[in-house]
Amino acid sequence: MSKITRFGVSLESTLLEKFDQLNTQKGYKNRSEAIRDLIREKLVSEEWNSSQQETVGVFSLVYDHHQRELNKTLNHIQHQHVEVIVSSTHVHIDQHNCLEVIILKGKANIIKKITDQLTSTRGVKHGELIMTSTGSSLK
């Protein structure tokens, strides 16, 4: 763990009150942890704006497996990107619907391209990408 540095922040009282209220709702015990999380959030968002840094995404996909050729198409797209797709889990939700959760690790633009391609495939009902982090930029 790296050295801890203390610093002072000046801001409008009303803004600080709102921040404190929010932190209480969210369950933060003190401002420091809430500020640390805000900074980490910003760093993760930068990780996703960078074209060089490696990052991690968790992608969920809901689709109707009765749709003709859909299973095959989705599988084909994933097989083309084995270097980025780390893991995938398939759940049969009911008689019609499937849920797939895919973990991807690589450059942000490549992850977005793959997940956009999966989401826009005909018959896919919902696709959602969680843009998280490898954690290495958050030390």
Site for Ni ion in 70-99 (CB under 5 A): 92, 98
**Residue among 13 and 95 whose Cβ is closer to Ni ion:** 95
CA distances from residue 84 to 5, 106, 128 in whole angstroms, order as listed: 37, 6, 17
What's the closest the beta carbon of residue 99 comes to Ni ion, in angstroms? 8
**Residue among 86 and 99 whose Cβ is closer to Ni ion:** 99
Provide the angle, in degrees to the nearest 10, between the axes of the packed helices 13-26 and 31-49. 90
Which residue's CB atom is positioned nearest to Ni ion? 98
What is the x/- site pattern for Ni ion, positions 5-44, by CB under 5 A?
----------------------------------------
Which residues does 83 contact at the CB level (< 8 Å), separation at least 6?
Answer: 106
Which residues does 121 contact at the CB level (< 8 Å), separation at least 6?
Answer: 63, 70, 73, 74, 77
Q: Which residues bind Ni ion (CB under 5 A)?
A: 92, 98
